[in-house]
Structure 1
Amino acid sequence: MSAGSAAVPVNAEQTGRRVEEVLDRLAASGDPAATAAAEELVRSLMDFYGAGLARILHLLSSAPGEPPAGLLGDELVASLLLLHDLHPEDRDTRIARALDSVREHTLEVVDFEEDSGTLKLRAQSSGGCGCGCGSGADARQAAEAALACFAPEVRAVDVQTAPAGPALLQIGTGPAPTRTR
C-alpha cells in the first residue's frame, strides 16, 4: 500500500476469526504438510510484525513524553499491541479507556473476576424510566464491543443497573374548593 492511498478499515477480531477459519479448513483437508506450512507462515508473520511493533514502541518511548494517546486509543493498533504483548497500559487502564469510549452509557467498574474473565459493571440510569428495561442489555453490548479490542482478557460482561433513585412525586394543586351559599 502506498503512503498516499487510504487505509482500508480492518477489524482485528474478525481478522483473527478469519485466520482461524482458514487454518481449520486446511486442517480439515487432510493434508498435514499444507496445514503445518500454513501454521508456520502465520507464526513467521506474527514474529515479523511483532518485532516491528516492538521497534516502533521502543523508538516512540525514546522520544520525549508518552506514546501519543491516539496511538493507544486506536482499536487496530491496540489489538496489535495486545496480540504481541506489547501494550504499555495495564488491564485496568485499558478497561477504563474502552468504557470511556462508550459515551451513550455511564458505566462503572464493580469487579473483575480473573478466573472467569467476567467484568462486572454498574450502569447509571441516564433518564428514561429507571426500571432497567432493556438499557442493561444495550450497555452490555456496547461494553463488549469496546472491550474486544482494548481488553480481550474480559471474556464476559455483567451489567447491573443502578437504581435511578427515589421516584419523583409530583404534587399539584388540589381541586378548587366548593363555595357554599
Structure 2
Amino acid sequence: MSAPTTAPPVDAERTGRRIEEVLDRLATSGDPAVAAAAEELVRSLMDFYGAGLARALHLLSAAKGDPVAGLLGDELVASLLVLHDLHPEDRDTRVARAVDRVREPALDIVDFDEESGTLTLRARESAGCGSADSAKAAARAALACFAPEVRNVEVETAPAGPTLLQIGTAPTGPR
C-alpha cells in the first residue's frame, strides 16, 4: 500500500475570493449563458464536496475500530480521495475493492492493461443471457468511484458446463 499523500495547504479566504473574481469576470463578459453555466458548475461542485464532507463526518462518528476503513469503503468519499490523489490504497487494491462490490455474478480479475485502461474480468458462473452486460455495467459503476483509471471493462463469461445427455430407459419386450 502506498503512503497517503497530503494536500498542499490552501488559503480558504483567498480561494473564495478567486472564485468570486472568476464568476464576476464571466458575468461581465457579456454572455449570460456562460455566467449561468459557471455558477451552476460552482453550485454542483459545492454540493458534491459538501455531500462528501458530510458523509465523511457521519462515517467517522459511526466508526467502530478503524475509522479509515469506513471512509475508504464509501463510494463518495473514496471518489473524492481518488480525485485529489489522496487515496492511501494503490490501484490494484482499489480495483479489487470495486470488483468485490459486484455480487451477481461474482467476478474475478483477469488482467489490467495500463496502456488502454482496460480491465478484463471473468464471471465465476454463467447467470444466463445478458449477465455479461449487467456485470459489466455493475463493475463500471463501482470502478468509477474507486478506480477511475479503468476506462473500459471487458467481462469473459464462464465456460458452459458439460452438455447434459438424456438417457432413456432400455426398451422393453423381446429383442
| TM bracket, shorter-chain basis | 0.5 to 0.7
The 3-state SS of whatever aligns with 2:132 is helix
* Aligned residues of 2:126 and 2:157 also touching (Cα < 8 A): no
Query: 1:145, CA displacement in angstroms?
Result: 0.9
Other-structure match for 2:10: none
Query: Following superposition of structure 1 onto structure 2, how do residues 87-126 of structure 1 map, counting pairs within 5 Å?
Result: 87-126=87-126
Distance 1:164 1:170 in 2: 17
* Aligned residues of 1:78 and 1:87 also touching (Cα < 8 A): yes
2:77 aligned with 1:77: yes
Query: 1:83, CA displacement in angstroms?
Result: 1.1
Q: Unaligned 5+ residue runs, structure 1?
A: 1-22
2:141 aligned with 1:145: yes
Distance 2:138 2:30 in 1: 38
Distance 2:91 2:108 in 1: 15
Rate the CA distance shift 1:163–1:136 in 2: closer, same or farther, 3 A: same
- Deviating beyond 3 angstroms after TM superposition, the runs of 4 or more aligned structure 1 residues are 26-31, 65-68
Query: Following superposition of structure 1 onto structure 2, how do residues 4-153 of structure 1 map, counting pairs within 5 Å?
Result: 30=31, 67-128=67-128, 133-153=129-149
TM-score (normalised: structure 2): 0.61
Rate the CA distance shift 1:80–1:118 in 2: closer, same or farther, 3 A: same
Distance 1:168 1:69 in 2: 46
Rate the CA distance shift 1:68–1:171 in 2: closer, same or farther, 3 A: farther
Query: 1:66, CA displacement in angstroms?
Result: 5.2
Rate the CA distance shift 1:174–1:29 in 2: closer, same or farther, 3 A: farther
- Report the aligned-residue RMSD: 4.0
Q: Unaligned 5+ residue runs, structure 2?
A: 1-22
Query: 1:173, CA displacement in angstroms?
Result: 2.2
Q: 2:161 aligns with which of 162, 165, 176?
A: 165
TM-score (normalised: structure 1): 0.59
Rate the CA distance shift 1:97–1:120 in 2: closer, same or farther, 3 A: same
The 3-state SS of whatever aligns with 1:170 is coil
2:173 aligned with 1:178: yes
Distance 1:170 1:99 in 2: 38
The 3-state SS of whatever aligns with 1:141 is helix
CA shift digits 1:14-46 (9 cap, x unpaired): xxxxxxxxx9xx699758x969x97xx79xx8x
The AA in structure 1 aligned to 2:115 is D
The 3-state SS of whatever aligns with 2:88 is coil
State the identity as a percent: 68
